[in-house]
């Protein structure tokens, strides 16, 4: 095997382009990194095509300079409050049961599962098999090669608003790069931070970014539920700015350097002299007051997550608890607060087992970026091997999406 793969994380707070080389054992080595501040996005959705395209282009150019490659195509992360999901079933007849099931039969079953009433303003992004039933036998993981009369698939369907997907595609194309496939960000993050045993037992991935919180529930090795909440770390920063009557940029610095999600864990006498940040003579902020503001918003976020977990109906099937990732996961005390609100074990997840320029992308903030490369390696049926980064590699599973994409992209 071997080859190259490129991913672009279009986030609310940062744009990150990664170039990865893949060896014959599918081990990933990061050879190009381009991170720039995000522009033109609000809550994960494009609000200014020109600004977003310029930021994406700057990120791509940085990655090209470092890696020495010319980026032509890439996997692109998609999120935002317009994302929705549902679980469906598809059934097909195999025949007389005198031949083994082939990939064509699985594809037919997946097509049947996708024959759902999707509103005209939405588009299917992913159709992922959760499990199969063959005749009366349930819990079949891979039916290929088995004999049977009737094949049924349970599928997880992820959809997005066509206008939002078009805007994202236009921004990437305006930056001079084609799209191999759009990948739901929590699916990408899961590739980077979840262990196989957690997926099997039942786990919730919570990717807390600047503008959104992406939630995905995995049970028996497959995704069972996914959604995007329109809140994130920027909401905490905004609360700090309003509560302390300070600029947003200063509030962000205080959150990152002195913030804590548990006021009781902070010494009530500790203060921050913000003169060193160039804000007003003699102005001090009590760290416990800062923590109190953070706790209120973070607790609300976890309560929103808890409501969605309960609404999914899978709240009793999650012994592996919650894996918290994304830039907001770095906030001190967040794990303990999450355990208190969710009544589940919580750990912070970050990318591991990668080589190359890892010092540039350490920590949970880069889970989605690294995960998109891993998604391309693990899930693309015809990954790009031995070519320039992002060249080709659309694969059969993405042909339908790319065909739709070409319909609305200018030529």
In 197-342, beta strands by DSSP E: 203-208, 213-219, 222-229, 271-273, 284-286, 322-325
Secondary structure class of 394 (helix, strand, coil): coil
Q: Is the pLDDT of residue 402 over 80?
A: no
Among 192, 218, 239, smallest CA distance to 376 is for 192
Q: Is the pLDDT of residue 98 over 50?
A: yes
Q: Is the pLDDT of residue 138 over 90?
A: no
Give the side-chain half-sphere CA count within 13 A for 260.
14
Angle at 315 between CA 314 and CA 317, to 5 degrees: 65
Secondary structure class of 151 (helix, strand, coil): strand
Q: Is the pLDDT of residue 136 over 70?
A: yes
Q: Is the pLDDT of residue 75 over 80?
A: yes
Residues with Cβ < 8 Å from 38, sequence gap 6 or more?
Answer: 10, 11, 12, 13, 14, 15, 52, 55, 210
Report the percent of the chain where pLDDT is more than 70.
91
pLDDT recorded at residue 158: 94
Instruction: Name the more confident of 118 and 259.
Output: 259
pLDDT recorded at residue 399: 43
The gap between the terminal CA atoms of the chain, to the nearest Å, is: 33
Residue for token digits 């339908």? Answer: 400
What's the alpha-carbon Rg for the chain, to the nearest Å?
A: 22
Residues with Cβ < 8 Å from 407, sequence gap 6 or more?
Answer: none
CATH top class, domain 84-159: alpha beta
Secondary structure class of 224 (helix, strand, coil): strand
- CA pair distance 268, 76, nearest whole angstrom: 45
Q: Is the pLDDT of residue 6 over 90?
A: yes
- CB count in 10 Å sphere of residue 54: 18
What mean pLDDT do residues 147-160 have?
Answer: 93
pLDDT recorded at residue 283: 79
What mean pLDDT do residues 267-293 have?
Answer: 84
Token output for 68: 């020495």
8 Å CB contact between 364 and 350: yes
- CA pair distance 240, 58, nearest whole angstrom: 30
**Environment class of 65 (CB within 10 Å of its CB; exposed 0-12, middle 13-18, buried 19+):** exposed
Q: Classify residue 178 by its DSSP letter.
A: E
Residue 227 phi/psi, 5-degree rounding, is -165, 165
Q: Is the pLDDT of residue 168 over 50?
A: yes
Q: Is the pLDDT of residue 391 over 50?
A: no
Least confident range from 180-184, 270-274, 357-361: namely: 357-361
Q: Is the pLDDT of residue 374 over 80?
A: yes
pLDDT recorded at residue 282: 61
Residues with Cβ < 8 Å from 67, sequence gap 6 or more?
Answer: 19, 31, 32, 389
- CA pair distance 310, 215, nearest whole angstrom: 13
pLDDT recorded at residue 353: 81
Q: What pairs with residue 191 in β-bridges?
A: none
Q: Is the pLDDT of residue 400 over 90?
A: no
Token output for 197: 């045993």
Token output for 386: 């031995």
What mean pLDDT do residues 372-401 have?
Answer: 54
Between the CA of residue 109 and those of 34, 128, 131, 153, 223, what are the distances in Å? 40, 12, 11, 6, 18
What mean pLDDT do residues 177-188 have?
Answer: 93
- How does residue 280 score in pLDDT terms, banded at 50, 70 and 90? low
Token output for 339: 């355990």
8 Å CB contact between 28 and 355: yes
What mean pLDDT do residues 109-116 have?
Answer: 93
pLDDT recorded at residue 24: 79
- CA pair distance 30, 242, nearest whole angstrom: 40
DSSP for 75-126, please give it.
EEEE-STT-EEEEEEEEEE--SS-SB--HHHHHHHHHHHT-S---TTEEEEE
What mean pLDDT do residues 10-14 have?
Answer: 90
pLDDT digits (tens, 9 = 90+) for 313-342: 999 999 999 999 999 999 999 999 999 999
8 Å CB contact between 261 and 336: yes
What mean pLDDT do residues 274-295 have?
Answer: 82
Between the CA of residue 139 and those of 33, 199, 204, 209, 246, what are the distances in Å? 41, 15, 21, 35, 56
Q: Is the pLDDT of residue 396 over 70?
A: no
- CA pair distance 282, 183, nearest whole angstrom: 49
What mean pLDDT do residues 23-52 have?
Answer: 89
Among 232, 233, 237, smallest CA distance to 253 is for 237
What mean pLDDT do residues 135-152 have?
Answer: 90
Least confident range from 100-104, 148-152, 274-278, 399-403: namely: 399-403
8 Å CB contact between 90 and 111: yes
Angle at 288 between CA 283 and CA 293, to 5 degrees: 90
Domain ranges of the chain: 84-159
- CA pair distance 200, 244, nearest whole angstrom: 45
In this structure, the strands spanning 28-37 and 14-22 are antiparallel
Instruction: Name the more confident of 365 and 353.
Output: 365
- How does residue 388 score in pLDDT terms, banded at 50, 70 and 90? very low
Report the percent of the chain where pLDDT is more than 90.
72
pLDDT recorded at residue 380: 65
- How does residue 410 score in pLDDT terms, banded at 50, 70 and 90? very low
Least confident range from 147-161, 246-260, 318-332, 392-406: namely: 392-406
What mean pLDDT do residues 169-185 have?
Answer: 93
Q: Is the pLDDT of residue 248 over 50?
A: yes
Q: Is the pLDDT of residue 386 over 80?
A: no
């Amino acid at each position: 095997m071997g080859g190259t793969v490129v991913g672009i994380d279009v986030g609310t707070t940062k744009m990150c382009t990664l170039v990865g080389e893949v060896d014959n054992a599918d081990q990933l080595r990061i050879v190009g990194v381009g991170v720039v501040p995000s522009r033109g996005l609000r809550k994960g959705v494009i609000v200014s095509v020109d600004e977003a395209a310029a930021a994406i282009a700057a990120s791509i150019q940085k990655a090209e300079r470092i890696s020495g490659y010319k980026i032509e195509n890439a996997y692109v992360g998609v999120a935002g409050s317009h994302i929705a999901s549902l679980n469906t079933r598809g059934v097909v007849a195999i025949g007389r049961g005198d031949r083994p099931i082939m990939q064509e039969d699985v594809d037919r079953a997946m097509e049947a599962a996708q024959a759902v009433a999707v509103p005209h303003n939405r588009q299917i992004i992913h159709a992922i098999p959760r499990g199969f039933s063959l005749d009366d036998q349930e819990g079949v993981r891979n039916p290929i090669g088995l004999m049977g009369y009737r094949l049924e698939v349970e599928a997880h369907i992820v959809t997005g608003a066509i206008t939002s997907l078009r805007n994202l595609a236009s921004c990437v194309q305006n930056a001079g790069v084609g799209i191999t496939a759009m990948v739901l960000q929590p699916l990408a993050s899961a590739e980077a931070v979840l262990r196989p045993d957690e997926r099997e037992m039942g786990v919730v991935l919570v990717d807390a970014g600047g503008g959104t919180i992406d939630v995905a529930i995995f049970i028996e090795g497959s995704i069972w539920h996914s959604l995007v909440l329109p809140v994130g770390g920027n909401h905490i920063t905004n609360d700090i700015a309003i509560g302390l009557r300070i600029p947003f940029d200063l509030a962000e610095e205080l959150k990152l350097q002195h913030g804590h999600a548990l006021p009781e864990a902070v010494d009530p006498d500790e203060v921050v002299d913000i003169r060193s940040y160039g804000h007003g003579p003699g102005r001090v902020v009590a760290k416990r007051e800062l923590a109190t503001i953070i706790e209120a918003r973070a607790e609300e976020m976890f309560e929103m997550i808890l409501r969605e977990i309960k609404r999914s109906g899978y709240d009793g099937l999650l012994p592996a608890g919650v894996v918290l990732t994304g830039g907001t996961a770095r906030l001190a005390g967040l794990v303990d607060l999450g355990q208190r609100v969710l009544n589940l074990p919580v750990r912070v997840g970050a990318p591991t087992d990668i080589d190359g320029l890892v010092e540039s992308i350490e920590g949970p903030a880069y889970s989605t970026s690294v995960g998109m490369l891993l998604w391309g390696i693990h899930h693309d049926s015809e990954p790009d091997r031995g070519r320039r980064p992002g060249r080709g590699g659309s694969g059969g599973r993405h042909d339908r999406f790319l065909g739709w994409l070409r319909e609305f992209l200018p030529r």
